[in-house]
Amino acid sequence: MKAPQRLHSLLEEGLIDAVVRQLMSGKEAMVYIVRCGDETRCAKVYKEAAQRSFRQAVDYTENRKVKNTRQARAMAKGTRFGREAQEAAWQSAEVDALYRLAAAGVRVPKPFNFHDGVLLMELVVDGEGGAAPRLNDVALTAAAARAHHTTLIGEVVRMLCAGVIHGDLSEFNILLAADGPVIIDLPQAVDAAGNNHAQRMLLRDVANLRDFFGRFDPALLATQFGPEIWSHYTRGVLQPATPLTGQFDPGHTPVDVQGVLRVVTDARDEEAARQQRMSMRE
C-alpha cells in the first residue's frame, strides 16, 4: 500500500522497509503492519490531539515528569510550546511504560523504536501467524475465560509491582496471542505511587476484567481481586507471586476516609464531564 505521510520519515531513515497494510484505527492512534528486513512489525502513529477521542485528562497526567521547569511552566500556561511539549509527553508515556513493563516481564508488545511520533513495536500474532484479535472479538468457553482472567490478574499485579497502572484496561486493549493475552495501549498509564487517582483506576481496571470474563463464567462476577490487590500493595506486601483468593473483607483493614472522599469526588467529576459531553452532542 502507499505509505501514509507520517511514516515517510521512518522509511527515509531505514527504520522500516515497507508498509503492508493498516491494521486498525483506535481512539488515539492508527496502527499499520510494516516490514523491517525479514521481520513483520507494527507502527503506531499517534493522532494529533484535536483528532483523538481520548483526551489527556488530568487524572492520567497528574505528577508526570517533564524534562525541565520551562516545559512545566509552558504546559501549565497552555502556550503553543506547552501544548507541543504536552503532546510529546503523552506519546512518550507509552514508550516509557512499554520499556518499563517489558523489563519487568509483563506481557506487552516489545518496543523497538520511537521516531517522529511513531512507535515501532512487535506485532502480536495468533496461532496462525496473523495479527492477533482483540479480546472483545473472541468468544470464550468458561474454562478459557477463567484461565485468561487468571493470567491478566497476574499481569495487573506484575504491573503494579513495577509501579504502573494501565488506567484504561478492558477487553478492547488486550490482544489474544497464540500463547495468551497481551496488554496494549498504554499512553494513559499512571504512576501508582504518584497519582492520587491510582486506587480508583486500579479498581476499575480489575472490575473491567471481572465484568468481561464474567459474561462467560458468571462465578467470576463475585470475585474481589481489585480491593485485595490494592490492600496488599498499600501494606507493602504485594509481590508478583503473592497468592490471591479473589475475596476481600474490608472490615479487616483501616478505613481510608480521604481515599473514599477522593473516589466520591472523582465519580462526581466524571458524571459532570459526561453530562457536559452529552449536552454538547445535543
Specify whether 269 is catalytic: no
Angle formed by the axes of helices 198-213 and 225-234, to 10°?
Answer: 150
Distance CA 171, CA 174 (A): 5
CB atoms within 10 A of CB 203: 18
C-alpha distance from residue 204 to each of 125, 166, 251 (Å):
28, 10, 21
Give me 248's grid cell: 476481600
Please tell me which residue in 59, 96, 168, 205 is annotated as part of the active site: 168
Specify whether 185 is catalytic: yes
User: What SS3 class is residue 122?
Assistant: strand
C-alpha distance from residue 192 to each of 55, 58, 64, 138, 198 (Å):
20, 15, 11, 30, 5
Please tell me which residue in 185, 205, 249, 269 is annotated as part of the active site: 185
The alpha helices in the chain, defined as continuous H runs, are: 8-12, 58-61, 69-77, 80-103, 142-161, 198-213, 225-234, 257-281
Q: Which residues are catalytic?
A: 168, 185
